[in-house]
Amino acid sequence: MPDYVLKATAGNGQIRVFAATTTGLAETARRLHQTSPVVTQALGRLLTAGALMGSMMKNADELLTLKIAGDGPLSGLLVTADAKGNVKGYPYVSDLSDTITAPLPVSAAIGSGTLNVLKDIGLKEPYVGYAPLVSGEIAEDLTYYYAQSEQIPTSVSLGVLLNDDGSVRQAGGFIIQLMPDTDDAVIDALEAALAATPSLTKQLDEGKTLETIIEVLFKDLNLKVSKTEIIRFFCDCSRQRITKALMSIGKDDLVEIISDQEDIEINCDFCQEKYHFSPEDLQSILDHRAGKEA
Ligand SMILES: [Zn+2]
């Protein structure tokens, strides 16, 4: 079954619920970036957050970027998502030499640092939100970000379960937000339900569907599922895009690369796709550039 996100409301519209299964997303990222277990978990969590937050955007052409920078050995992670279920991302360091039997906690890999949230909503300047990392486990950091930067009481859960060979067994998460002026009784009922529910990935691993899990969690809170949407790892890089990027580098730099008379290889950070350019390709980019400038 493909990954998907489920959107719902509960508590008479006072609670917004976004829940997602992201096993395929997290496993695709692991294969593309050849990550060691702790990096697979960290990247899977941030990709899940990206899928959820992408689905929360209101307009189809909005773009979200989540960036974590830390002083731990992983150094950082970058994820982008659109409102149509396309998510991509990469770790700054792929392999921390940890193993499935001796895993490093995600917080130790990330360390202290910051979380940046960029929302390009089609205006001249993107919305930029920022919060210090409070735990380095990502879900708590996002909860804190929402409280501090957007002033929305939010519960975030993100999980990645691994198989013995390091591949992703289950991944998923949810974001639950309270509208302003939510009744205390609704908040109490939600807190009690959250405290009593086992982890999402554990329940998925028992064969339960996302729908069942969310229905049980909100059984006393009048849940209304509004829709589900497919999500996937998708990179929109292309030879044309890389060519455009090459056109924008300095003329002297291009001339210097061409003078080496060797093919160059450019790697897409997000999906590891390799693009090759011969000196002739680069010369034609330079000529095209010169033509534009003339
Ligand atoms: Zn790519």
Per residue in 103-146, pLDDT (tens digit) is 899 999 999 999 999 999 877 888 999 999 999 999 999 999 99
Q: Please give the distance, rounded to the nearest whole angstrom, from the Cα atom of residue 232 to the centre of ligand 1.
A: 14
Q: Please give the distance, rounded to the nearest whole angstrom, from the Cα atom of residue 170 to the centre of ligand 1.
A: 24
CA 247 to CA 148: how far, in whole Å? 41
Q: Please give the distance, rounded to the nearest whole angstrom, from the Cα atom of residue 88 to the centre of ligand 1.
A: 9
Q: Where in the chain is the domain with CATH 3.55.30.10?
A: 4-233
CA 217 to CA 195: how far, in whole Å? 10
> Between vectors from CA 164 to CA 23 and to CA 194, what angle results, nearest 5°?
50
Q: Please give the distance, rounded to the nearest whole angstrom, from the Cα atom of residue 269 to the centre of ligand 1.
A: 7
Q: Please give the distance, rounded to the nearest whole angstrom, from the Cα atom of residue 240 to the centre of ligand 1.
A: 12
Q: Would you state the pLDDT for residue 291?
A: 78
Tens digits of residue pLDDT in 184-242: 999 999 999 999 999 999 999 999 999 999 999 999 899 999 999 999 999 999 999 99
Correct CATH for 4-233 of 3.55.30.10, 3.10.450.30, 3.30.420.40, 3.40.50.1700: 3.55.30.10
Q: Is 135 within 8 Å of 14 (Cβ atoms)? A: no
- Which pTM does this prediction carry? 0.94
CATH number for the domain formed by residue range(s) 239-293:
3.90.1280.10
Q: Where in the chain is the domain with CATH 3.90.1280.10?
A: 239-293
Q: Please give the distance, rounded to the nearest whole angstrom, from the Cα atom of residue 150 to the centre of ligand 1.
A: 31
Is the model's pLDDT at 290 over the cut of 80?
A: no
